[in-house]
Amino acid sequence: MKDRIRKDDLKEKVMSAESAAMLIKDGMIVATSGFTPSGYPKAVPLALEKRVNEGEAIGITVLCGASVGDELDGALTRCGVMKRRYPYQTNNDLRNAINESQVSYQDMHLSHVTQFIDYGFFGKIDVALVEALAITEEGGIIPTTSIGLMPQAIKNSDMVIVEINMSQPMELEGMHDIYMTEKPPYRKAIPIEQTGDRVGTHYIPCPPEKIAAIVFTDIPDKVRPLGPIDEPSKLISGHIIDFLKYEVRKGRLPKNLLPLQSGVGSVANAVLGGLVNSDFKDLTCYTEVIQDSMLDLIDAGKVTIASGTALTPSIEGLKRLHENMKHYAKHCILRPMEISNNPEVIRRLGIISMNTAIEVDIYGHVNSTNIMGSRMMNGIGGSGDFTRNAYLSIFTTVSTAKNGEISSIVPKASHIDHTEHDVSVVVTEQGLADLRGTSPRERARKIIQNCAHPDYRDMLMDYLERAEKTKFKYQPHLLDEALSWHDRFLKTGSMKVD
Amino acid sequence: MKDRIRKDDLKEKVMSAESAAMLIKDGMIVATSGFTPSGYPKAVPLALEKRVNEGEAIGITVLCGASVGDELDGALTRCGVMKRRYPYQTNNDLRNAINESQVSYQDMHLSHVTQFIDYGFFGKIDVALVEALAITEEGGIIPTTSIGLMPQAIKNSDMVIVEINMSQPMELEGMHDIYMTEKPPYRKAIPIEQTGDRVGTHYIPCPPEKIAAIVFTDIPDKVRPLGPIDEPSKLISGHIIDFLKYEVRKGRLPKNLLPLQSGVGSVANAVLGGLVNSDFKDLTCYTEVIQDSMLDLIDAGKVTIASGTALTPSIEGLKRLHENMKHYAKHCILRPMEISNNPEVIRRLGIISMNTAIEVDIYGHVNSTNIMGSRMMNGIGGSGDFTRNAYLSIFTTVSTAKNGEISSIVPKASHIDHTEHDVSVVVTEQGLADLRGTSPRERARKIIQNCAHPDYRDMLMDYLERAEKTKFKYQPHLLDEALSWHDRFLKTGSMKVD
Ligand SMILES: CC(C)(COP(=O)(O)OP(=O)(O)OC[C@H]1O[C@@H](n2cnc3c(N)ncnc32)[C@H](O)[C@@H]1OP(=O)(O)O)[C@@H](O)C(=O)NCCC(=O)NCCS
Ligand SMILES: CC(C)(COP(=O)(O)OP(=O)(O)OC[C@H]1O[C@@H](n2cnc3c(N)ncnc32)[C@H](O)[C@@H]1OP(=O)(O)O)[C@@H](O)C(=O)NCCC(=O)NCCS
């Protein structure tokens, strides 16, 4: 315990998860650590669930960095404690509850969350519930595998509950770089000018009197398994690498590219994976989540620095990470999401963003969140923060879904998270469309010809050509048909016409 | 001429507009000064038009800061020289040509334009065609009433054509603050931390050997008349001011607010106008365009500093400005659009953005550009740069258009430029909806009840309630009806159902 709680008088705050959970009351706003299932509190949420299952009626608002594990999102949803949730999630039970409107959800840009907390836009944060590696001599909190919104949660609440997770290796200490911005009009320039710049402290400052409870736990992060890299993902990765090489030849990118950001999921993992066997070297990554393929890139000597706000390897990746923590620590920096997702830093560094879309329309508008316009999948996450401020913004998607019954290239996106103004490049397993400098009609032809699945290409061209015969030819649409593909899928199970 | 061309050997580059226009050849990419009809080149475009009307066949691509006057956009469109145009326009003839697909147009975020030039994404810029007040001893170019993309145009082209406009008063000298960013990976933090910070030079550096022609002209900026402030605009302004006062009371805004950005047009002018009679003082504005109401605010001692990239008063405003240039110069700074619209600075300063929408949907998605989904009006301009990075982002619109036959609040926006993730507040003459922290269904009720016109409120509630009965209740839509209001308007001339 000595190296975990380094300030002696805080030891009297140690208690059971059950006692700590009693501090959380009906109606409270609770901001937690955690970002993609890593570094999130586990014991106290489970204790809260128990209380409710024993008959208490509690409803709370939960703010996390991004998605968190089932012990938090799943458990609190199933027992009905979760009434409102911001800003991103990937849990099946929570997703269903959101789509049945049992949980109020607002899908937000991650870069907005921490400043909304600071600005008081959510109201007063009642409790900061955070997982920690250790508490320093001054009461500073050392995070575990993610940082997320922890600094702002701690700063803006009067009560901090700390879960010290003994399953997290002490070698994580030193990997974090905590820098916080002031509120306007006092905000200064963030002094990061290179991916690897360290500008802050190793811990999150916290007045010790705020710490109301310390709970010990050893529940490991419930990391998600990564599927094997499939053929479409490999093709997508290949198209992107060819494109990046071309940009280097044209003098529009330096030889070692610019800092890479890569989304979450299997395609994103495959894209980075493809770089292992490429000729690129001295790469850096300025991203949210450090996944397995990043470890591969570090091992292969391709990536010198990876900056993120969460370490989220698979189970095998976690083993590898723990065994070589010292090695990886030299190449990884964890930052608050306020910094990893900050428009200022992203724009300055000139990031190449690569995110996955649910669907893309012929004019380059991207849907990342709502299936058939209405059903929340996960959320926008940081994709908008990166896309909007990138040097080059790339979106990937497999050209069809649901065994080919859905075309991921559609006449009009059923929901729009990233507009035509923000998307530079679209890639599917079919090919790549470079949209820079194109008018909508030029864009449409590139996307249909290079990216759409052959089964849908003629249908899309037919839509476009008929739309072009109407009066307004800038971004031509047939309004009574624009969403008919989605409508047909909902009614018949296929976007195809018999 | 001595104070206009201060480097003697450049005097031999003086020539007629006709001779200078001969330097522009078919197929060229020409980047010009100008931002909203101010500070744009006039004599050379008119000479180019003459050449074409006399039988030459020339087609060029034109890049401007934003909209420019009829001598450039109108003349070159009518004679068919304008083949491609970026990134924003407001000229009637050009607009029609875009919507008839005679001119290829890409509607871009203004903050993307200058870096696209620097990155080489448009290809090589053949000619920089700029209006200047004077040329310094070193060949530096002093802009006139706007800066826009001039610095990057001059930096990235080998040939610079300068129009020295004698109708622009010398007192403008010293108002400009030229700071340019490097390309990544060499980009540094932009050192602006307060609205009034001056961080650059009074002129744009230009190697004198690049200057291929200097043309003297005295054609004045073709500024646009501003309509009188009407009743709906006054009501909108009142709602915004009440809201800002409330935020100050709640401690979420400082007493003197945060730097204001205000869009273009009559409503925007009225909103600022409303502040003249409010209790607010010591305000600052970090915006694109300095319009008449800004001069009023300066005169009333309400605004201490107005930073923009263009001075665009009305004809009366221009007179007032010229007569008191010394006075206004103390309170105004003109910056390159690379800086005025920079996400880094906007986010850091914590700007309150106020822009006008064409339509807003019940879930808070905003259409700023495409009427009925397809017909380009002007373009997104800087509205996305500000909205996306603001402290608070506000959109205004009158609740109906076309004599009430169109509802500006619709079930689903026919085009989306600003997503639900980016819009904090929606205001019409009916009232204000604060969307922060709301789920889509909560948002919809606020927008319908507070902002929609009474004639359409029941229809909107009916749509929402029927959509809520379908399977996916996160952001419920009826896909076969979502765009039917627009379709009905196109077919019957009204969104109303008989
Ligand atoms: C878009 C996103 C959901 C794709 O994730 P993925 O794991 O690569 O994609 P999958 O192919 O497994 O698709 C996920 C689901 O969407 C469905 N889907 C995919 N394309 C679809 C389409 N065009 N229409 C309808 N459904 C579609 C899949 O069928 C699957 O549904 P299921 O779970 O019912 O089988 C995911 O990347 C995401 O949430 N992105 C938004 C946030 C983000 O970009 N974060 C990174 C920021 S740093
Ligand atoms: C949105 C915008 C066009 C409104 O301009 P405005 O002068 O206040 O608006 P108006 O009421 O005159 O409307 C302009 C036109 O749109 C039409 N219109 C307005 N609302 C409409 C709606 N809901 N549906 C269809 N047409 C609509 C008007 O009828 C008018 O058409 P007309 O010229 O054929 O009569 C203008 O603000 C703009 O271009 N914004 C985008 C760029 C921007 O925000 N710049 C500021 C960034 S710093």
pLDDT digits (tens, 9 = 90+) for A248-263: 999 999 999 999 999 9
User: From CA A273, how far away is CA A229, in angstroms rounded?
Assistant: 9
Q: How far is A295 from chain B (nearest CA, A)?
A: 23
A266-276 and A231-249 are packed helices; what angle lies between their axes, rounded to 10 degrees? 50
| Residue given tokens 């008349």 in the structure block | B225
The predicted structure's pLDDT at residue B264: 80
pLDDT, chain A, mean: 96
Q: Residue B124: list chain A partners with CB under 8 A.
A: none
Q: Mean per-residue pLDDT for A34-48?
A: 96
- Assess A2–B contact: CB distance below 8 Å, yes or no: no
Q: How far is B320 from chain A (nearest CA, A)?
A: 32
User: From CA A324, how far away is CA A308, in angstroms rounded?
Assistant: 18
Count Cα neighbours of A54 within 13 Å in the Cβ-side half-sphere: 7
The predicted structure's pLDDT at residue A319: 87
DSSP classification of residue B185: T
- Assess B190–A contact: CB distance below 8 Å, yes or no: yes
The predicted structure's pLDDT at residue A314: 85
- Assess B446–A contact: CB distance below 8 Å, yes or no: no
The SS3 call for residue B116 is helix
The predicted structure's pLDDT at residue A409: 99
Dist. CA A358 → ligand 1 center (Å): 5
Q: Are strands A406-407 and A104-105 parallel, antiparallel or unpaired?
A: unpaired
Residue A91 in this model has a pLDDT that exceeds 90: yes
Higher pLDDT, B229 or A392: A392
The predicted structure's pLDDT at residue A220: 93
Q: How far is B60 from chain A (nearest CA, A)?
A: 14
Question: Do the chains contact at B474 and A375, CB–CB below 8 Å?
Answer: yes
Dist. CA A429 → ligand 2 center (Å): 40
Q: What is the per-residue DSSP string for B349-396?
A: HT-EEEEE-SEEETTS-EESSEETTTEE-S--TTHHHHHHH-SEEEEE
The predicted structure's pLDDT at residue B425: 98
3-state secondary structure chain A: CCCCECCHHHHHHECCHHHHHCCCCCCCEEEECCCCCCCCCCHHHHHHHHHHHCCCCCCEEEECCCCCCHHHHHHHHHCCCEEEEECCCCCHHHHHHHHCCCCEECCCCHHHHHHHHHHCCCCCEEEEEEEECEECCCCCEECCCECCCHHHHHHHEEEEEEEEECCCCHHHCCCECECCCCCCCCCCCCCCCCCCCCCCECCECCCHHHEEEEEEECCCCCCCCCCCCCHHHHHHHHHHHHHHHHHHHCCCCCCCCCCEEECCCHHHHHHHHHHHCCCCCCEEEECCEECHHHHHHHHCCCEEEEEECEECCCHHHHHHHHHCHHHHHCCEEECCHHHHCCHHHHHHHCCEEEEECCEEECCCCEECCEECCCEECCCCCCHHHHHHHCCEEEEECCCEECCCCEECEECCCCCCCECCCCCCEEEECCEEEECCCCCHHHHHHHHHHHHCCHHHHHHHHHHHHHHHCCCCCCCCCCCCCCCHHHHHHHHHCCCCCC
Consecutive 10-residue runs of chain B (498 residues): their mean pLDDT?
Answer: 92 98 98 96 98 95 97 98 98 98 98 97 98 97 98 97 96 96 98 98 97 97 81 95 97 98 85 91 96 92 97 87 90 98 98 97 98 98 98 98 98 98 98 98 98 98 98 97 98 95
Question: Do the chains contact at B376 and A120, CB–CB below 8 Å?
Answer: no
The nearest alpha carbon in chain A to B348 belongs to A187
User: What would the pLDDT profile of A371-387 be if each residue is shown by its tens digit?
Assistant: 999 999 999 999 999 99
Active site residues of A: 288
Residue A371 beta carbon below 6 angstroms from any ligand 1 atom: yes
- Assess A18–B contact: CB distance below 8 Å, yes or no: no
The predicted structure's pLDDT at residue A224: 75
The predicted structure's pLDDT at residue A271: 86
- The interface pTM score, or ipTM, of the predicted complex is 0.98
Residue A6 in this model has a pLDDT that exceeds 80: yes
Residue A468 in this model has a pLDDT that exceeds 80: yes
User: Whose CA is closest to B36, among B104, B103, B136, B110?
Assistant: B110
Q: How far is B389 from chain A (nearest CA, A)?
A: 8
User: What would the pLDDT profile of A308-344 be if each residue is shown by its tens digit?
Assistant: 999 998 888 888 888 898 899 999 999 999 999 999 9
Q: Mean per-residue pLDDT for A398-403?
A: 98
Sheet holding B283-286, edge to edge: B332-334, B303-308, B283-286, B260-262, B352-356, B392-396, B425-428, B431-434
B contact residues 333-352, partner A, Cβ 8 Å cutoff: 342-344, 347-350
B contact residues 269-328, partner A, Cβ 8 Å cutoff: none
DSSP classification of residue B172: G
User: What would the pLDDT profile of A445-456 be if each residue is shown by its tens digit?
Assistant: 999 999 999 999
User: Whose CA is closest to B181, among B66, B337, B350?
Assistant: B337
Active site residues of B: 288
Q: Which of A121, A189, A348 sits opposite B191 (nearest CB)?
A: A189
User: Whose CA is closest to B355, among B368, B344, B365?
Assistant: B368
Q: Distances from the Cα of A407 to the Cαs of A263, A361, A404, in angstroms?
A: 21, 10, 7
- Assess A116–B contact: CB distance below 8 Å, yes or no: yes
User: From CA A347, how far away is CA A344, in angstroms rounded?
Assistant: 5
Residue A228 in this model has a pLDDT that exceeds 90: no
Cis amide bond preceding B220, omega within 30: no
Count Cα neighbours of A44 within 13 Å in the Cβ-side half-sphere: 30
The predicted structure's pLDDT at residue B315: 85
The ligand placed nearest to the CA atom of residue A415 is 1
Q: Mean per-residue pLDDT for A39-44?
A: 98
Question: Do the chains contact at A250 and B120, CB–CB below 8 Å?
Answer: yes
Dist. CA B377 → ligand 2 center (Å): 7
DSSP classification of residue B182: P
C-alpha dihedral over A68, A72, A75, A79, to 10 degrees?
Answer: -120
